[in-house]
Amino acid sequence: MQPLLTLLQINDSMFPIGSFTHSYGLESYVSQGIVKDTPSATAYAEDMLRHNIFYNDAAFLQMTWKLLEAKKPARELQKLDELITALKVPSEIRMASKKLAIRFLKLTQGLHPVKRCSNYLSRIQEGALHGHYPVAFGLFAHAHGISSKDALLAFYYNMLNSIATNCAKLVPISQNDAQKILFDLQPIIMQLVEEQESLQEDLVGLCCIGQEIRCMQHEKQYSRLYIS
């Protein structure tokens, strides 16, 4: 039971790491009138799951898990950190990943210290590694006996929850519609989790060009509600 409770806590919207202060390009989509109502918000959320998260952050979490299961040396984790940094081209999402990782690691270390997590945090603070949230999440979840499938399910849901919540604030859409997006897209999350392990390595980091452009545009947007 405790691994489930731990997973619920680190995945809760009240877990104060700042994940809901980043729009990851959504603010640009809204300001340009591309995401403007519930149907377009739903389409945006589904596209992010299928074409961005699956090939990027969820794939990075899965790769972290494989390294831990295989008990690979620390240098392999460093290579993964460097790979993720190179694949996150827009500085906005690269820095968001680092900030979330640092906040997540500091907070979880205060709850229950894990050596691999403290080592990762130290390497980030020293400047030896960049630091990424999927890696930090994977290190802590794995150490607490959470299964790979459950970690991925929770990770996808948290990302979708952030998207739906931000759509409710920005578009705006009603809270009821945001909850319907969360519920209706659950089967897609289940499908993607089942497919995650078989994702070909050369497809990891596949670029979602539209979203990356919107992230870059957001960095120079005249007025912003979300971090850039």
- Residue 149 is encoded by which pair of tokens? 């499938």
For the chain, the distance separating the N- and C-terminal CA atoms, rounded to the nearest angstrom, is 38
Q: Any idea where the domains of the chain sit in the sequence? A: 24-219
| pTM > 0.85 | yes
pLDDT band at 221 (very low <50, low <70, confident <90, very high): confident
Pick the CATH number of 24-219 from 1.10.3470.10, 3.30.470.20, 1.10.4190.10, 3.10.300.10: 1.10.4190.10
CA dihedral 218, 81, 202, 141 (to 10 degrees): -100
Digit-coded pLDDT (tens) for 67-113: 999 999 999 999 999 999 999 999 999 999 999 999 999 999 999 99
Instruction: Provide the sign of the torsion angle of the four alpha carbons 24, 28, 29, 30, taken in this order.
Output: positive
pLDDT in tens, 104-156: 999 999 999 999 999 999 999 999 999 999 999 999 999 999 999 999 999 99
In this structure, what DSSP letter does residue 11 have? T
Evaluate whether 52 touches 87 at the Cβ level (below 8 Å): no
Quick check: 208 and 52 in contact, CB under 8 A?
Answer: yes
Tokens of 69: 């299961």
